[in-house]
Structure 1
């Protein structure tokens, strides 16, 4: 009887250790994967000049608001948009949101592409201010997406490298 109890306890402890170690490894793998994605997308964004080829704001095509602007993502976190006569300066970063309280996802391993221009609400560039989810990316395209917390509309922003 004593041996049966000890054997059962030993099996239970073994499974507990196995399950808890798998969870820890999964968290580390997600963090390592997010770190790799952050580094890769930062390198891509900093590698040249970009234009907005598509900006859909809750179903409305507002790409024309940014026609003629060239965007530069500097390693310092400065974001510059210029069309030859007007220059807008903002900030950008890529972060691991790593929280379950995102307004647009239940996932805990999202990577956010953050854009901020210090402009009034009436300025077109205010529409770009967000913690965008990275939808897809390549060496020549970065596609971002956000589901609005206010109206539930989906915004899609696509940068194309010049």
Structure 2
């Protein structure tokens, strides 16, 4: 009986060690630096951006935003301008995960008050942040309706 318990505890210890090692790993499989919502906000606010890629359910629609620059203001305003046209919307980054230090569900929220015929209406969403750094913000959204996947990439100018 004592041998069974010893074997069981040894196996349990090995399993716990294995789980702890994988959850405490410094590897960053999600392509995001170990950071928080605050870090993503600071990166977004630090400069002017352009849309370098916008794929809407498999269709490349990047050209709809050619010439526009985007500024993410600290007051939540989002400005898109191409020199002759300026649109003002809003933006935020939120974490809908209960663990506020987790990158698992950081959402990049964009809203432009435009009608459905505007290309900017396609940007209105709560995008998932797939990765970001000082020069690039990669966003993704899987549509609940048709199951299409949209990707949006902002690149710093």
**CA displacement at 1:68 relative to structure 2:** 0.2
Counterpart in the other structure of 1:3: none
Highest CA radius of gyration, 1 or 2?
1
Task: Tell me the distance in 2 between the aligned counterparts of 1:109 and 1:145.
Answer: 13
TM-score, normalised via structure 1 length: 0.72
Counterpart in the other structure of 1:111: 106
Counterpart in the other structure of 1:135: 130
Structure holding more helix per residue: 1
**CA displacement at 1:109 relative to structure 2:** 4.0
Counterpart in the other structure of 1:89: 88
Please report the RMSD computed on the Cα atoms of aligned residues, expressed in angstroms.
1.9
Counterpart in the other structure of 1:41: 40
Task: Tell me the distance in 1 between the aligned counterparts of 2:133 and 2:45.
Answer: 13
**Superimposed CA distance per residue, residues 86-107 of structure 1 (whole angstroms, 9 cap, x where no aligned partner):** 00100000001227xxxxxxxx
**Superimposed CA distance per residue, residues 90-127 of structure 1 (whole angstroms, 9 cap, x where no aligned partner):** 0000001227xxxxxxxx94110000001101110000
Counterpart in the other structure of 1:144: 139
**CA displacement at 1:150 relative to structure 2:** 1.0
Q: Which runs of 5+ in 2 are unaligned?
A: 1-22, 24-33
TM-score, normalised via structure 2 length: 0.74
Task: Tell me the distance in 2 between the aligned counterparts of 1:67 and 1:89.
Answer: 17
Q: Which runs of 5+ in 1 are unaligned?
A: 1-25, 27-34, 100-107
Aligned length: 122
Residue aligned with 2:121, SS:
helix
